[in-house]
Chain A
Amino acid sequence: MTDYRIHGATGEWEVVIGLEVHAQVTSNAKLFSGASTEFGAEPNSQVSLVDAAMPGMLPVPNAECIRQAVRTGMALEARINPWSRFDRKNYFYADLPQGYQISQLYHPIVGEGEIEIWLDDKDEGSAKRIGVERIHIEQDAGKLMHDQHPSFSYVDLNRSGVALMEIVSKPDMRSPEEAGAYVRKLRAILRYVGSCDGNMEQGSMRADVNVSVRRPGGGLGTRTETKNVNSVRFIMAAIEHEANRQVDLLEAGGAIVQETRLWDPDKCETRSLRSKEEAHDYRYFPDPDLLPVELTDDFLLECRASLPELPDAKRRRYEAALGLSAYAASVLTADVITARWFESLLEQLGEEHAQRAGNWVTSDLFGALNRLGKTIEESPVSPAQAAELLRLTAEGTLSGTLAKQVFEIMLETGEDPAAIVEARGLKQTSDTGAIDAAIADVLAANPDKAAEYRGGKDKLFGFFVGQVMKAMQGKANPGVVNELLKKALS
């Protein structure tokens, strides 16, 4: 793949990117309390006395949050640490009731792993492996609202204490595209594993973006961290803006300050938070309210056993075992919902038809859904109905054209294809009598053209086919039509 470079006035610059992705763990209850994690509830209605840090309240860890972090680590082929521990990160803020965040600094639950990204869906050669430094578990903070009152900010603690996985990459990315591919791939894996719903609009996934620039191959530059960027598009835009800002600054003889910045989606730029930042010193130390997390072999076995087939493995199987194109395989496995839809279709159609089914889903179905602005979950056509449609075509009951007609009706009415074919008599016919009659009419109606054809103007054949098909309302079997026309015209 061609290297991404920023062409500055003084020459080329390479961009070095690392991401810290905060992913909300899918769980019913919070990390250390029994309060619900449901999104969008009344303010402070999902807050326990623990989440509100009332005096004397104590944390008790939620097993499912530990389990999901471990399963995620396994999905990233990462080292799982059978002994990990919670630490306190101390700082004051209105959304942090305890005055500290329970996190894992010294002994995270998951160590080094890897994620393979593809920059081009069609091209295996565009694959690149991005290192994962660690995954640790920590508490989310509450929510502050600044626009409700002239002199007050309002605090809602519903999110306070919800479990997050912080997935820290190595500084292995070199372009906004790589960062985008990394986040999309990570999101896909989390959704396959079921450890995070990946819903960026609801804040289930946010990224802290670390960017620095350097002369190609040179030593690492000073990095900045842009916090809480909440969409793939914004992450890519933030990197591009920040990298260019740094290049301009350096080329103007300035220096980069290691600092925390904020992404402004409206102005589409990053801004320094230095203003409100006095020297941070988080004073991490082991949380004395909690004991170390020690994972048993049984626990680890269950985590491993409960992992589904992951996108990479699925993609390879679709190519190797089902004979799908690299493109179809990667599109069909990109999201767990699509893969599930496709596999339930195959279950009913039979894997021997995988290629046709794959093409149909990636072209016909996706085309239609795009047109209707619907996701595959909202598809008016069920996998079972799609299987039936493809079977009818395979049997020859429907021609390609008829199949498209039937599919359109299915999209509108949601009816089963067989019923549609029955009701509207859309069966394809090979009835030679009817076809011969139609041919006779067409030839009678176009004697001059028939003469030209017989006189050697072969390309008129297509015209006659079209006319006959038209006369048959498209229901005639094209093969039979060709055969009988040739006879009639010879």
Chain B
Amino acid sequence: MNLTDLGIAAIRDGVRDGAFSAREVAGAFNAAIETGRALNAFTVETPEHALAAADAADAARASGDLKPLSGVPLGIKDLFATRGVATTAGSRILEGFEPRYESTVSANLFAAGAGMLGKLNMDEFAMGSSNETSAWGPVLSPWRRSDGGNAPLTPGGSSGGSAAAVAARLAPGVTGTDTGGSIRQPAAFVGITGIKPTYGRCSRWGVVAFASSLDQAGPMARDVRGCAILLEAMAGFDPKDSTSLDLPVPNWEAALSGDVRGKRIGIPKEYRIDGVPEEIDRVWEKGIALMRDAGAEIVEVSLPHTKYALPTYYIIAPAEASSNLARYDGVRYGLRVSPDNGNLTDMYEATRAAGFGAEVKRRIMIGTYVLSAGYYDAYFNRAQKVRALIARDFERVWGECDLILTPTAPSAAFALGEKSADPIAMYLNDVFAVPASLAGLPAISVPAGLNDEGLPLGLQLVGRALDEQGVLNAALALEERAGFTARPEAWW
């Protein structure tokens, strides 16, 4: 048995039952990461951290006080501050930054017994859908097209390193963050499962901010159960985050059930958009059929403002980012570029020019523009109101259905470089993911099949606020019936 083939639950249970030691597990994944460097999934490898947690787990087992994640090694997206371990958010401007603090989410995972295999590569400041904006180079998807051509593919983004690591069996599970699809789209691109919980479920404290009103952390793993287990450990009220929800964390795993009989699954007609490849419609239809077969009731619903979600997002997210990223000024941490006998402003401008990549600069500029004098009402304030309408659409639709089923992304993984020239084409990747982000709703992506080129396609389930359980259960029903077992061949 190859330990790296095991998912979260199997590892946890195996360690508990003594089928193998936590140290063996950590060792196996540490080795896999070494051999998987060609994927560029990790920005930092922390084998000792994983081994130390493993030894603690083995000791805990001996003394009979195992924790929920004892023996489970995880990858942590580089957006999470990790004490004493370089945290760069995929940006040159944070090169060499070693936080003296631990993000609440990673701290929760470690407190639950998990170890850290390393930090995962990502789009710079989580701004991107292909991982090509990372200052540390793009992550390669472990998948390749079946056409024999070995065109390197994107794992999606911004949690591209997270997605690639799980798909390539370099980690059984990882953390991701999702501002406008950054967990769900990469999960779909590499054939794994990833859930963005309700906004406020996971603390944002210690997570490098992109767009505060949208950022949510979530788990990515090989299956639905793995996500349920990880989310349970990650989530929880945090008084250090004013937007954190003061609610108990449900026992999602214990209540996990693929029984969706009588559930009403909404199919939003506005999600059938022109120019989407037919393979996407096909997998969507497949998902609809599977849910019906599982005993769910399929109802067509309408989310009239869907088409405005993406432009709304591309005003609000850059606006918040332009302000959130002002702190990267070369004064207290990270990169500083000081032109000879330049003044403070020269230092700011040189530092930020050298430290930020093209996409981040683009979004800071857009955000600065839409907030600037004379444009605030026309752009930002209007977008805030449209956001309210989009949230209202969902509110209304919950009267007609319990969950919404859509494709996760409008296409399968594309080749590196294919879209990087055209920002808007890149943004369109998140057309199906963004509405749930704007409404703060829980949403999951589950692998549902392969396209003709042998690449994974994912389906998205969106639920009511706080109904992660409903989302996970419906996802499990899909997973059980989709029978997705495909995995990339190790070419790395």
Report which A residues bind B (CB closer than 8 A). Answer: 49, 52-61, 88, 90, 92-94, 97-100, 153, 155, 281, 283-285, 288-291
B209, A55: Cβ atoms closer than 8 Å: yes
Of A55, A58, A98, the residue contacting B97 (CB under 8 A) is A55
Contacts of A93 in B (CB 8 A): 344
A54, B101: Cβ atoms closer than 8 Å: yes
Of A55, A155, A291, the residue contacting B89 (CB under 8 A) is A55
Given A88-B323, A283-B372 in contact, is the A55-B240 Cβ separation under 8 Å? no
B239, A60: Cβ atoms closer than 8 Å: yes
Given A90-B371, A92-B329, A155-B331 in contact, is the A58-B323 Cβ separation under 8 Å? no
Q: Which of B334-391 contact A (CB under 8 A)?
A: 344-345, 348, 368, 371-373, 376, 380
Chain B residue nearest in CB terms to A291: B242
B241, A53: Cβ atoms closer than 8 Å: no
A53, A54, A94, most chain B CB atoms within 10 A: A54
Cβ distance B94 to chain A, nearest Cβ, rounded Å:
7
Cβ distance A26 to chain B, nearest Cβ, rounded Å:
23
Question: Of the 9-residue stretches B4-12, B200-208, B256-264, which lies at the interface with chain A?
Answer: B200-208
Contacts of B320 in A (CB 8 A): 288
Given A55-B97, A92-B329, A291-B243 in contact, is the A285-B81 Cβ separation under 8 Å? no
Cβ distance A490 to chain B, nearest Cβ, rounded Å:
92
Complex CA–CA separation, A49 to B319 (angstroms): 24
Chain B residue nearest in CB terms to A98: B327
Q: Which 4 A-B pairs have the closest CB atoms?
A: A99-B326, A283-B371, A288-B212, A288-B213
A55, B208: Cβ atoms closer than 8 Å: yes
Complex CA–CA separation, A49 to B101 (angstroms): 9
A56, B326: Cβ atoms closer than 8 Å: no
Of A53, A56, A88, A290, the residue contacting B332 (CB under 8 A) is A53
Complex CA–CA separation, A52 to B331 (angstroms): 10
Complex CA–CA separation, A50 to B434 (angstroms): 30
The SS class assigned to the B binding surface is loop
User: Binary interface profile of B, 74-110, with partner A (CB < 8 Å = 1, else 0)?
Assistant: 0000001100000101000010010111010000000
Cβ distance A91 to chain B, nearest Cβ, rounded Å:
9
Of A55, A59, A99, A153, the residue contacting B323 (CB under 8 A) is A99
Chain B residue nearest in CB terms to A99: B326
Contacts of A90 in B (CB 8 A): 322-323, 326, 371
Complex CA–CA separation, A3 to B204 (angstroms): 58
Complex CA–CA separation, A52 to B333 (angstroms): 10
B372, A58: Cβ atoms closer than 8 Å: no
Of B94, B97, B240, B326, the residue contacting A92 (CB under 8 A) is B326
Contacts of A97 in B (CB 8 A): 327, 331-332
B87, B97, B239, B331, most chain A CB atoms within 10 A: B331
Complex CA–CA separation, A290 to B241 (angstroms): 9
Given A94-B344, A285-B323, A288-B213 in contact, is the A56-B208 Cβ separation under 8 Å? yes
Q: Does B478 contact A (CB under 8 A)?
A: no
Cβ distance A113 to chain B, nearest Cβ, rounded Å:
28
Q: Does B211 contact A (CB under 8 A)?
A: yes
Chain A residue nearest in CB terms to B384: A286
Q: Provide 13 A-B residue pairs closer than 8 Å at the C-beta atoms, listed in order of the A residue.
A: A53-B332, A54-B332, A55-B99, A55-B327, A56-B80, A58-B241, A60-B241, A88-B323, A90-B326, A98-B327, A281-B372, A288-B243, A289-B243
Contacts of B345 in A (CB 8 A): 92
Count CB-based A-B contacts (< 8 Å). Answer: 98
Chain B residue nearest in CB terms to A92: B348
Complex CA–CA separation, A269 to B239 (angstroms): 49
A153, A285, A291, most chain B CB atoms within 10 A: A285
Contacts of B81 in A (CB 8 A): 54-56
A58, B242: Cβ atoms closer than 8 Å: yes
Cβ distance A152 to chain B, nearest Cβ, rounded Å:
10
B332, A52: Cβ atoms closer than 8 Å: yes
Contacts of A283 in B (CB 8 A): 322-323, 368, 371-373, 376
Complex CA–CA separation, A154 to B81 (angstroms): 27
B242, A289: Cβ atoms closer than 8 Å: yes
Complex CA–CA separation, A93 to B103 (angstroms): 27
Contacts of A155 in B (CB 8 A): 331
Cβ distance A155 to chain B, nearest Cβ, rounded Å:
7
B240, A58: Cβ atoms closer than 8 Å: yes
Complex CA–CA separation, A49 to B100 (angstroms): 9
Contacts of A284 in B (CB 8 A): 371, 376
Contacts of B329 in A (CB 8 A): 92, 99
Contacts of A53 in B (CB 8 A): 327, 332
Complex CA–CA separation, A52 to B77 (angstroms): 23
B371, A56: Cβ atoms closer than 8 Å: no
Complex CA–CA separation, A288 to B211 (angstroms): 8
Contacts of A100 in B (CB 8 A): 323, 326
Contacts of A60 in B (CB 8 A): 239-242
Cβ distance A86 to chain B, nearest Cβ, rounded Å:
10
Cβ distance B383 to chain A, nearest Cβ, rounded Å:
11
B212, A289: Cβ atoms closer than 8 Å: yes
Other than the given A55-B208, A88-B323, 12 more pairs (CB < 8 A) read: A55-B87, A55-B89, A56-B206, A92-B348, A93-B344, A155-B331, A283-B322, A285-B371, A285-B376, A288-B212, A288-B213, A289-B242
Contacts of A153 in B (CB 8 A): 344
Complex CA–CA separation, A57 to B212 (angstroms): 11
B205, A59: Cβ atoms closer than 8 Å: no
Chain B residue nearest in CB terms to A283: B371
Chain A residue nearest in CB terms to B319: A285
Of A56, A88, A289, the residue contacting B103 (CB under 8 A) is A56
B242, A59: Cβ atoms closer than 8 Å: yes
Contacts of B212 in A (CB 8 A): 288-289
A52, A58, A97, A281, most chain B CB atoms within 10 A: A58
Contacts of B372 in A (CB 8 A): 281, 283
Chain B residue nearest in CB terms to A286: B384
Cβ distance B122 to chain A, nearest Cβ, rounded Å:
14
Contacts of A61 in B (CB 8 A): 242
